[in-house]
Amino acid sequence: MTDFLDVCYNAIKLQGKGIPNTIESVPSSDLEQIKNKRLVFVGCGDSYAVAEYGRYVFLSVHVNANSLSPPELKRIPLDTNTLVVGITASGRSIATIDALEYAKKEGAVTVTLTDNPSGSTTEFVDHVWLTKSGVDSYNISPSVPTTCAMAYLLRLAALKDATLHSRLSDDSHSLIENGENVIDWAEDTGKEISQIADMEKQLYMISDGPNFVAAQLGMMKFNEYSLVKGIAALREEFQHHYNLSINNDERAVLITDAPIEVADKVFMDVLTNTLNMQVYHLHSDKELPLTSPFGQAIANAIALQMAAYYTTLRYNPSMQKFKQPHADAFKIY
């Protein structure tokens, strides 16, 4: 075990407190900022997955929302009726900063969803949405700020229309009351998933809807440790063409909403018996009172963070850092 891996692990565990603290901090005044606005979420890496989450959760409460990679923002028209939300935990992502500056120049209202009150984005945007992860460094895998950003958006959407989608409000309260239980469940589940991971095999994370965000985050966590190549696959796309390249004993995690449906069991049967894959079926436990796919996606994302961490303990417990030359290959901060 190394100091680097200890820091990564502690950041994952910190979500048990960071997520409840974030949810409780969301001000209802944020609702005025999204009133009668088209929402466009932008972000890079983990924050792009959060942008996708924002699109899903606000569409569920009848808000016009979209998600883009920051450079794509220039491909759509912007005006005063558009609210551009730039998501960056550290507040220093160059692409997100550029996108927010462009949006402001085009007349859009700008927001940064960030964990860093001193980040560069807070200096020029119209509004700041601040998460409360509790980390003191943004130089490691951004596990806790990522799910805190998801929790922030979950809570804000619940405030927007708790009657329309009461499960969002229920899940917000459940994450506050059961934060540590979620982490314990995610750790046990992550250990189980790590047992099917193999350095010689790609690991497919298959899902759709809000839980596809969990798949995206899981893919990134495995890829960051550089031991097992992760691939996030939309469920429909997997059965259309990904499956054609599958060889015997490939590995996959199927991530579904809970409760499990008949179609999920059929899909699992195809993966295991027709494609001859080793598969883990990831879905939030009934003991976790999370009733919407939006709350469940947060728990499932943490389980995949744990899975990537415990896979690293299996194969490279002496890891000191990520592949630094690769990390520095593109100037992103």
Segment 80-102, tens digit of pLDDT: 999 999 999 999 999 999 999 99
Question: If 0-12 CB within 10 Å is exposed, 13-18 middle and 19+ buried, where does residue 98 land?
Answer: middle
Q: Is residue 325 part of a domain?
A: no
Closest CA to 293 of 267, 250, 259: 259
- Candidate from 40-54, 55-69, 151-165 with smallest mean pLDDT: 151-165
Amino acid at 168: L
Residues 6+ apart with CB under 8 A from 189: 282, 285, 303, 306, 307
Q: Which of 179, 212, 241 is the last residue of a domain?
A: 179
To which residue do tokens 């992502």 refer? Answer: 93
pLDDT at site 331: 82
Q: Is residue 323 part of a domain?
A: no
Give residue 125's Cα distance to chain centre: 23
Q: Is residue 333 part of a domain?
A: no
Segment 213-224 mean pLDDT: 97
Considering its fold, how many domains does the chain have in total? 2
Regarding whether 149 and 76 lie in a shared domain, the answer is yes
pLDDT at site 161: 82
pLDDT at site 180: 95
**Residue range of the domain that includes 29:** 3-179
Using the predicted structure, report yes or no on whether residue 125 has a pLDDT greater than 80.
yes
CB 131 within 8 A of CB 113: yes
Q: How far apart are the first and last CA of the chain?
A: 29
How far is Cα 40 from Cα 270, in angstroms, rounded to an integer?
Answer: 37
Regarding whether 184 and 172 lie in a shared domain, the answer is no
The tokens of 67 are what?
């998600």
pLDDT at site 165: 72
3-state secondary structure of 241: coil
Neighbours of 120 (CB within 10 A): 19
Using the predicted structure, report yes or no on whether residue 137 has a pLDDT greater than 90.
no
Amino acid at 133: S
Closest CA to 254 of 267, 266, 242: 267
Regarding whether 186 and 124 lie in a shared domain, the answer is no
Confidence band of 1 (pLDDT split at 50, 70, 90) = confident
The tokens of 206 are what?
């298959």
Regarding whether 222 and 150 lie in a shared domain, the answer is no
pTM of the model: 0.97
Residue ranges with strand state E in the chain: 38-43, 65-68, 82-87, 109-114, 127-130, 203-207, 230-234, 251-255, 278-282
How far is Cα 86 from Cα 43, in angstroms, rounded to an integer?
Answer: 6
pLDDT digits (tens, 9 = 90+) for 164-195: 678 999 999 999 999 999 999 999 999 999 99
The tokens of 328 are what?
């520095």
- Strand pairing of 278-282 and 251-255? parallel
Confidence band of 333 (pLDDT split at 50, 70, 90) = confident
Angle at which helix 166-177 crosses helix 15-25, to 10 degrees, equals 130
Regarding whether 298 and 229 lie in a shared domain, the answer is yes
> Where residue 156 sits, what CATH number does that domain have?
3.40.50.10490
